[in-house]
Structure 1
Amino acid sequence: MTDQDTHNVYRIRDISSNDRPRERLAELGAGALSAAELLAILLRVGMPGENAVQQGQRLLQKFGGLSGLHRVSFDELCHQKGINTAKACQIKAAIELGRRLPREDSESRPIIKSPSDAAALVQYEMSGLPQENLWILLLDTRNRVLKIDRLYQGSLNSSSVRIGELFKSALTNSAASIILVHNHPSGDPTPSPEDVALTRAARQAGKLLDVEVLDHLVIGLKNFVSLKDRGLGFNG
């Protein structure tokens, strides 16, 4: 690269401030950036006549997207215009981190096989709460926990809880089923008539939305009750 070429290299700071990938990531989050912009952050600088974002776009187009960049050999990537060993290492390292994430998430997500499994996830935290709280365990098709959503705090009954809110997060996270969990600050997990009514209303809504309500647990001080095991709100 000649001295003239060096002066003509397009750096991220040469891009309009509104379009700079680093600034956009800091302001909007990584999810708001295109794949080319994320690559530009790794590449840092472009080359004469091509800024880092354009270079990222060219690489994605040449190899058919991120999956192609994953498959291409390290040596071939190093031979691409404007890509040196350091840039190739950064690209390959970033893609490998992304590849490992779903596997790590999958391995770390507990599988719910029984009411005890579900209670074990929340018992310690919920049993000492001074107010009633309603949480929802979102599960995938294999009963792995996708997320624990903390929805309500205060007096809970079928009229105060908006049934639609129970399923909003489930639909957003593509949950196949949910488990309702709430605590009794008194320490006695005996289900109330309101608990049963809430369970019944949630199950009816779940059938319409194709999201199964697997159970409703009431957490006490040292124990819990499964409404499903007792047949409360799950008959019919």
Structure 2
Amino acid sequence: MAQDRGSCSMVELLAVLIGGHQPMDISTSLLSRYPHNLGSASADELRQIKGIGLASACRIMAAIELGRRLTAQQEPRPAIGSPEQAARLLTPLLAGKEQEYLVVVLLDTRNRALGEPIVVYHGSLNTSLVRVAEVVRPAIRANASAMLMAHGHPSGDPSPSPEDVSITRAVAEAGRLLDIRLLDHLIIGQASFVSMRERGLMP
């Protein structure tokens, strides 16, 4: 096995992930089955290759996903300039969940996302359960200039509840004191969304 990772072939890199007995042969078989579309294979499909078990399949899929995320971090990050742009980013993550998930997207001075959305709470969104400090802590740690907050309604109806309004105002006030602007709070439904800022429900 070559010591320089840059000089390793695809077969060698996969063999490291597969491990066990005769990993080079297994890696060769895998790439013969998926010469150009390995990233689209499911764990069950990978396990159809003789010598690949569940653990090896999971390692391969994790490595592929890690590569995707690292590549995404290096790509130019578009600014989030409208609620519609934010909704396109967050709807796949939040729509259709059985529980309410509250996420934050950290932003720089140009409203560009600083990494992936961060889940800060899941359950029933209630002011007595959601701690404002937990919501703003990721922004403090990342030295973010602003943040976007969003959560989904399992019912599919994105209409804001009194609790949604209360939490929005509490987080916005905490952000003001910390010089971290709350850009918006989106409520994601099944086929639509609500921008708390556009509704005039933010301080």
Pick the TM interval, shorter chain: 0.5 to 0.7
Q: Does 1:105 align with 2:91?
A: no
Choose the corresponding residue for 1:168, options 137, 142, 145: 137
Choose the corresponding residue for 1:140, options 105, 108, 113: 108
1:181 to partner: Cα distance: 0.2
1:127 to partner: Cα distance: 0.6
TM-score (norm 1): 0.54
1:143 to partner: Cα distance: 0.4
Q: Distance in 1 between matches of 2:163 and 2:71?
A: 41
Report SS of the residue matched to 1:146. coil
Q: Would the alpha carbon gap of residues 106 and 142 (structure 1) be closer, same or farther in structure 2, given more than 3 Å must change?
A: farther
- Structure 1 residue ranges, 4+ long, deviating more than 6 angstroms after superposition: none
Q: Aligned letter for 1:134?
A: L
Choose the corresponding residue for 2:188, options 212, 219, 230: 219
Q: Distance in 2 between matches of 1:124 and 1:179?
A: 16
Q: Distance in 2 between matches of 1:214 and 1:163?
A: 16
Q: Does 1:155 align with 2:127?
A: no
Instruction: List per-residue Cα deviations over 1:79-98 (Å, max 9, x = no partner).
Output: xxxxxxxxxxxxxxxxxxxx
Report SS of the residue matched to 1:225. strand
Instruction: List per-residue Cα deviations over 1:8-52 (Å, max 9, x = no partner).
Output: xxxxxxxxxxxxxxxxxxxxxxxxxxxxxxxxxxxxxxxxxxxxx
Flag structure 1 segments of 5+ consecutive residues without an equivalent. 1-101
Q: Aligned letter for 1:169?
A: P
Flag structure 2 segments of 5+ consecutive residues without an equivalent. 1-69
Question: Whose relative contact order is higher, 1 or 2, with alpha carbons under 8 Å and at least 6 apart?
Answer: 2
More helix by percentage: 1
Q: Distance in 2 between matches of 1:177 and 1:103?
A: 24
**For the aligned residues, what is the CA RMSD?**
1.8
Contact 1:158 1:201 in 2 (8 A): no
How many residues align? The count is 133
Percent of pairs identical after alignment? 49
Q: Would the alpha carbon gap of residues 141 and 103 (structure 1) be closer, same or farther in structure 2, given more than 3 Å must change?
A: farther
Q: Does 1:114 align with 2:57?
A: no
Q: Would the alpha carbon gap of residues 153 and 104 (structure 1) be closer, same or farther in structure 2, given more than 3 Å must change?
A: closer
Q: Would the alpha carbon gap of residues 140 and 222 (structure 1) be closer, same or farther in structure 2, given more than 3 Å must change?
A: same
Q: Would the alpha carbon gap of residues 104 and 182 (structure 1) be closer, same or farther in structure 2, given more than 3 Å must change?
A: closer
Q: Would the alpha carbon gap of residues 207 and 106 (structure 1) be closer, same or farther in structure 2, given more than 3 Å must change?
A: farther
Instruction: List per-residue Cα deviations over 1:85-119 (Å, max 9, x = no partner).
Output: xxxxxxxxxxxxxxxxx997363423100011111
TM-score (norm 2): 0.62
Report which of the two structures shows the higher radius of gyration computed on alpha carbons. Answer: 1
Report SS of the residue matched to 1:215. strand
Q: Aligned letter for 1:135?
A: V
Q: Does 1:191 align with 2:160?
A: yes
